[in-house]
Amino acid sequence: MNSKKKAFTLMRREFVTSSTSALMASSFTPRALAFGESSQPARAPSRVIIDTDPGVDDALALLLAMRSPELKIEGITPVAGNVPLELTLPNALRMVEIAGRTDIPVAVGAKAPLVRRLVSAAYAHGENGLGGAVFPEPKTKPVAEPAPEFIRQVVRKYPHEVTLITIGPLTNIATALNGDAELAGIVKSLVMMGGSLSGGNITPAAEFNIYVDPEAARIVFQSGIPITMVGLDVTRKTALTEDYVRQLEAGQNPVSQAAAKIARSAIAHNRQQGFAVDPHMHDSLAVAAFLDPSLLKFEDYYVDVETAGELTAGETLGYSPVAGDLRRRSDAGNQTAPNMPIRGSAPTLASTRTSPVLRDKFVPNAKVAVDVDSARFFELLIGRLAGKP
């Protein structure tokens, strides 16, 4: 990357404008939304593409998105992750049919990460990705364009209007960015379920989506796209309980019944596997964060991804001048915080590098969710899925 492009990327990473800050206000409001309600003034639906690897929580996230009138879903792009693409693709098509939204294009994504062999999570999602819940084979067919090209075409058609909601490994997104040098500059924003500042869920260091394709994640974090990261720091607070399943079962619509079936199967699978906690609604929370940002609290970080570590590949590192032992005073007279260096590993004796400093100035590239009103989130999720359209 040349110096001009680096400068542009760093400048664009200063994406936290006053309007975005207002939208991402950290104060919690009294209650979540019922189906069809919005905490924001009435406006045109937001154009989104949902990149996903269904997956139990992905399936419920897709159903939530398709039951949310605030969204204009331009497409769904399945990717290999929780289970192989041979399962994530038909699972996405099944959710589209269950929701009665066969108008939404589904584009076939990557079968494998950029440079690694696929590691899947059938241990958590069952062999079919839906916790063992069985549905008919989908009749809907995907579109002809592969996912990266589909993403590129949609973003090019609607420059500065499309938000990417990514709830799986980031292979499709990184491939699209690698194939079009100008694409990152015309993506409106990206809301991801991925990463963690507090330890992983597949290794002690890494969250699953980032672990599967850390090289792709690093491309996305360094792209300059305004990013909202909804990671394990908050999604661990969204356990799906029996009471929520019963509420879904009481819903008198196909979406609620399908969600209940998947949820009950997932809870049973978790217990069979000996997990000590109920399934977390990781991906639904990312969708909810876009629908109603006031559900969460956010802080600005510079986030990077470990790609070289034998034990830490996929770890997301968050740098902040106001968090951790290196935090700076926040008084108005202190001018050192913006100059906080971003350090990598110390150079080895065999290396030609002379400094471990990767960035000499703190510039945030992500808003990271650090707290969530879990009760309000479930009011939104269950209300949308179980409510009447």
Q: What distance in Å separates the CA atoms of residue 40 and residue 69, rounded to the nearest whole number?
A: 12
| Cα angle 68-58-84, degrees, rounded to a multiple of 5 | 145
Cα–Cα dist 13/113, whole Å:
26
Continuous segment of H or E residues that includes residue 266 = helix 254-272
Q: Residue 77's pLDDT is what?
A: 98
Domains in the chain, please, with CATH?
A: 3-320+363-386 (3.90.245.10), 322-343+351-361 (no CATH)
Distance CA 193, CA 216 (A): 14
Q: What interhelical angle do 85-98 and 56-66 show, nearest 10?
A: 30
Distances (CA, A) of 135 to 64, 84, 97, 139, 266: 18, 18, 11, 12, 14
Instruction: Report strand pairing: 71-78 vs 46-52.
Output: parallel
Distance between CA 25 and CA 48 in Å, rounded? 21
Which residues are 363's β-sheet partners?
none
Distance CA(185)–CA(9), nearest Å, equals 9
Instruction: Give me the tens of pLDDT residue by residue for the chain, a chain 389 residues long.
Output: 444 344 434 434 444 333 333 333 333 333 444 433 444 456 799 999 999 999 899 999 999 999 999 999 999 999 999 999 999 999 999 999 999 999 999 999 999 999 999 998 887 787 888 988 999 999 999 999 999 999 999 999 999 999 999 999 999 999 999 999 999 999 999 999 999 999 999 999 999 999 999 999 999 999 999 999 999 999 999 999 999 999 999 998 999 999 999 999 999 888 888 887 788 999 999 999 999 999 999 999 999 999 999 999 999 999 998 888 877 776 655 555 567 888 888 888 887 776 777 888 889 999 999 999 999 999 999 999 998 65
Residue 150 is predicted with a pLDDT of: 98
Q: Give 74-96 as a DSSP string.
A: EEEEE-SSSS-HHHHHHHHHHHH
- Supply φ then ψ for residue 298, to 5 degrees: -125, 150
Reference 285, options 320, 352, 316, 239; nearest CA is 239
CA atoms of 226 and 259, how far apart (whole Å): 31
How many residues are given for the chain?
Answer: 389
Report residue 75 as tokens: 């497409």
Task: Judge contact between 84 and 118, C-beta under 8 A.
Answer: yes
Q: What is the largest CA-CA distance in the chain?
A: 67
Residues annotated as catalytic are 282
Q: How far is CA 81 from CA 88, 112, 322, 360, in A?
A: 8, 8, 34, 35
